[in-house]
Structure 1
Amino acid sequence: MIGSSSSSSKRRRIGSEPSWASLSQDLVELIGWRVLAGDLLDYVRFRAVCTHWNSSTVSPRGRGLIDPRFHPRRWMLFPEDHGLYPGHPNLGGYVRFFNLSTGAFVRVYLPLFDDHVVLDSTDGLLVVLRHPNTAVRILHPFTGDIADLPPVFPLLPQINPHICRYMTEEMKLRELDAAFLKGVCAAVSVDAAGAITVMLGLDSKRRVAYATAGCERWSLSPWTLPRLRALHVSFEGKLYISAVNSADENNIYICQIDPPRVSDEGYQSLPEPRMLVKCPLDGPLGTAHLVQCGSELMLAGFSDTSLAHLAVYRVSDLIKGTVLPMKDIGDHAIFFEVHGLCVSAKGFPSILGNSIICKHRSGELVETFNPDPRLERRPVLPARPRIDQ
């Protein structure tokens, strides 16, 4: 009898405990924003727990572009091997994305790649170009939200003054593809009213094209980028340039291009590049890369012409005048060849954290930097990360 009474009392206590579904709407909403600060897909899973949690939180669908909180910041389009580009018939309309922090993969159905190509990706958003009308779109891969921008074809005479009226449309499209499909860096910014503005840094033409969703045409920067060995990166809606001047190889220049400003008359104008820092280094940088590492912007590259020593600098420190290489980048690993990429080693067990990995002159993927002197330089062969379907 005693055991029976104890079990009955325990069942009553369990039954009387409040359930997770009974949390107040304000508390669920607060927890949801905390989850969203980590990762968008975790937020989507959070909303799927029950009807109450779903109705107490803001749906990302329809706000995926206009609200930067819903941008899939740490997700990147996965470059398939064996020539399987987005839109390849063997992919069946699917593409994969992987998380730079966790190593998780998701498979997304995006059939629009039948007639679209990717120009760039920023904050996890895809900037795509449609053929044959050359319209540009911003796509949120997880919510399906799309922002339409005007065609870039009318920019062609400004980009290439040698275009003549006797050229066929096919020839002109080839010229356009050469300008927009090679070395484009995109930055997407959203103002307080939800207006989406896109800047496209055209490396091969040393110009920046810009437009706002819903406007009639693209504009081209009246100025050209300096003739430097330059690389672009987008960060927080702005374009950044790291460059080495052949006449001043002991300095690295870092410039920032802000989104276009709107005048009192309603016209947009693009500010000229603003030099943030002219940074003296121990030796000329054979290669320099700006890389987003978590919430920081880093400068990584070779610190001598022999390409034997790598260094990493925090850009915020350089701006303050502190020219000291970092001794520890935590669990991050930085890869670079043409562009830089930073991943968390926590999500990729075969990748060594606190390291920089680059394409060596021999053509092999070799670890060339790690602050821990006990670790020897060795070939790094990243294994296939785990997959979440």
Structure 2
Amino acid sequence: MIPCSRKFCRLTGRDAGKMSVDWASLDQDLVELIGSLVLAGDVLDYVNFRAACPHWRASTIRPGGRGVLDPRLHPRRWMMLPEGHGLYPGHPDLRGFVRFFHLSTGNVVRVHLPLLDDHTILDSVDGLLLLHRDHDTAIRLLNPFTGDIIDLPPLATLLPQMEPRHYHSEASKRSVLMRVCAAVAVSPTGTVTVMLALDLLDRVAYASNGDQRWTLSSWKLRPLLKPVSFQGKLYAMQFIFKDIQKVHIYQIDPPCTDAAGGLPHLQPPVKISECPMEKFRHTISLVECGSELLLVAYNDASFSKLVLYRLADLANGKIEPLTSIGDNTLFLDERCLCVSHKKGSKGFPSISPNTIFCNHRLPSALSFLESRFEQYHLGTGAWTVASDGDVRQIPPPSPHTLIHHIFTCCHHKYWNKGLMYCSETQPTWSVKVDLRFGFGSMLGNVKSAYS
């Protein structure tokens, strides 16, 4: 497959070893094929592949301008690394740089993102950053590795659609819009649609590039529990406490147009599974693991064992727990992450595969919510301490381990403020408290950002 001269073909033995292959002379179609295989693995590897030589760069698709429109270019396994020590994204000491780490290899890269000086990061979906611009509440979707941005309407356009409700202050009314779980869908025609699960409102908002405002769903899913994004859709749970206790799992599809070709609208949630709680006593979360969505729960009142189910199995009426997640490790809380131990990689020496990290609930006569930060080994069924220090009562000791960083990523209200997770620490913004809202923030006086 590599073009070579007849002289090169005749060479044998020691002389052949002295010859070097001219990789730059690879056929264009072959370079394009190799590039597509590299891109299927990781977008940053693809960027490095194109940087090898001008011929390879000219023979492959340019990422710039397509970083959001082409789902293949989404940095799916990359997560922004919380720095701790109050170094929020955009902090002057970071000089415009933000670090990202790969959830399969542990590789860490620095990316220059100076626009974070006047933007707040609300969420990360498929590696894209959902940004909120301080002064006008505009929502923007950024690919941090290509620099491509999709502009969406201001979040403030949702305020007139919110039904009257008791709020402690005007700031608290607006802050509920900042606690979101986002899903991104890209159509073949290049339309980017973002859905925001607003669990504090029990509703979903949506908008596409080119829209003038966000639209709030006409329906409610009360309560909207543990929303998670998966393959461009939203999934959420609902507990039913009647004669028979059940957990319902719903799927929320991106907005669609009707047969008459009118404006896109959001269909009501579709119940895809209904499971009796006798199969699992206390549900924790839905979590993406590889190419599947899993349900994680305790199976008894003593909180001694975790069980996992494939959502696809539950949707088909098959309630049979998994016995292993292989080389994967799950981190569970407000947001759930899956760390996969890639073969040949030594990026996570302190993290064991086939384990689950979470705040382990403990049966207590004094408090049902008492818990410890522990890891559960699926193979042995044993609980062990997850890390040094008590991350629930006091901040974790410095220097912080990778376990602390990853678990902080599971908490939006700490992750985007440069703080390491600690349940007893109030995660407040240290700057621009009159412009930046959010669950757990120091709200202060509200100016005209949402007016």
Residue 287 of structure 1 aligns to a residue whose secondary structure is strand
Give me the whole-angstrom Cα distance separating, in 2, the residues matched to 1:96 and 1:246.
Answer: 44
Corresponding residue for residue 89 of structure 1? 92
Does the 8 Å contact 1:313/1:325 carry over to 2?
Answer: yes
Identical-residue share of aligned pairs (%): 49
Q: Which residue of 1 aligns with 2:360?
A: 360
- The answer to whether 1:332 aligns with 2:328 is yes
Among 178, 181, 187, which residue is 2:178 paired with? 181
Structure-2 separation of matches of 1:273 and 1:241:
9
1:242 and 1:252 in contact (8 A); partners too: yes
Question: Cα distance 1:255–1:86, how it changes in 2: closer, same or farther (>3 A)?
Answer: same
Query: Does the CA-based 8 Å contact 2:280-2:297 persist in structure 1?
Result: no
Look up the match of 1:138. 141
- 8 Å CA contact retained: 1:94, 1:107: yes
Contact 1:135 1:149 in 2 (8 A): yes
Q: In structure 2, what residue type is equivalent to 1:329? A: I
Measure, in 2, the Cα distance between the counterparts of 1:152 and 1:174. 14
Separation of aligned partners in 2, 1:216 and 1:163 = 28
Q: Deviations over 1:222-265 (max 9, x none)?
A: 0011236x110001110011232233674321110000002334
Aligned-pair distance for 1:327? 0.5
Residues 1:137 and 1:143: Cα distance change in structure 2 (over 3 Å) = same
Range with greater deviation from structure 2 (57-66 or 278-287) = 278-287
What amino acid sits opposite 2:74 in the alignment? H
**1:20–1:342 distance in 2 versus 1, CA, 3 Å:** same
**Structure 2 counterparts to residues 272-287 of structure 1, below 5 A:** 272-287=268-283
- What amino acid maps onto 1:368 in structure 2? Y
Report what 1:255 is aligned to: 250
- Give the direction of change, closer, same or farther, for the CA distance of 1:248–1:101 in structure 2 (3 Å limit): farther
Instruction: Quickly say closer, same or farther: Cα 1:14–1:312, change in 2 above 3 A.
Output: same
For residues 94 and 371 of structure 2, the distance between their equivalents in structure 1, rounded to whole angstroms, comes to 29
How far is 1:334 from its partner?
Answer: 0.8
Equivalences, count: 370
Q: 1:359 Cα shift?
A: 1.0
- 2:40 and 2:61 map into 1 onto residues whose CA distance is 14
TM-score by length of 2: 0.76
Q: 1:380 aligns with which of 377, 386, 389?
A: 386
Alpha carbons 1:257, 1:272 under 8 Å: kept: yes
From 291, 301, 305, give the equivalent of 2:297: 301
2:151 to 145, 148, 152: 148
Q: How far has the Cα of 1:106 moved from its partner? A: 1.0
Native 8 Å contact 1:76 1:99 kept in 2 = yes
Q: Cα distance, 1:358 vs. partner?
A: 1.1
- Using the size of structure 1 for normalisation, the TM-score is 0.88
Seen in structure 2, the aligned counterparts of structure 1 residues 115 and 17 have a Cα distance that, compared at 3 Å, is closer
Equivalent residue, structure 2, for 1:239: 234
Match of 1:202 among 195, 198, 202: 198
Q: Equivalents in 1 of 2:243, 2:193: separation in Å?
A: 35
RCO (CA 8 Å, sep 6+): is it higher in 1 or 2? 2
**1:83 shift after superposition:** 2.4
CA deviation string 1:255-312 (max 9, x = no partner): 1000000233430100110011112354454232111111111111222333222011
For the 8 Å contact 1:95–1:109, the answer to whether it is kept is: yes
Residues 199 and 223 of structure 2 are in contact (CA less than 8 Å); yes or no, is this contact kept in structure 1? no
* AA matched with 2:385: P
Which amino acid in 2 is paired with 1:379?
Answer: V
Match of 1:68 among 71, 85, 93: 71
- Work out which of the residue numbers 213, 217, 225 in structure 1 matches 2:213: 217
- The unaligned stretches of length 5 or more in structure 1 are 1-7
Deviation at 1:19, TM superposition (A): 2.0
1:6-42 Cα distance to aligned partner (Å, 9 max, x none): xx98676457664222211111111111111111111
Structure 1 residues 16, 86: closer, same or farther in 2, change over 3 A?
Answer: closer
CA contact (8 A) 1:256 1:275 kept: yes
Query: 2: CA distance between counterparts of 1:175 and 1:131?
Result: 17
CA pair 107-18 structure 1, distance change in 2 beyond 3 A? closer
Correspondence for 2:349: 349
The answer to whether the 8 A contact 2:194-2:206 is kept is yes
Q: Structure 2 unaligned segments of length 5 or more: list them.
A: 1-10, 362-369, 389-399, 404-451
Q: Secondary structure at the match of 1:262?
A: coil
Higher mean C-alpha deviation, range 80-89 or range 119-128 = 80-89
Q: Which amino acid aligns with 1:242?
A: M
Equivalent residues of 1:242, 1:288 under 8 A apart: no
Show the counterpart of 1:3. Answer: none
1:16-35 correspondence runs (5 A):
18-35=21-38
Amino acid at match of 1:256: Q
Residues 1:371 and 2:379 are matched in the alignment: yes
1:165-180 to structure 2, matched below 5 A, reads 172=170, 174-176=172-174, 178-180=175-177
Secondary structure of the corresponding residue to residue 58 of structure 1? coil
2: CA distance, partners of 1:288 / 1:157: 34
Q: For residues 253 and 110 of structure 1, what CA distance do their matches in structure 2 show?
A: 41
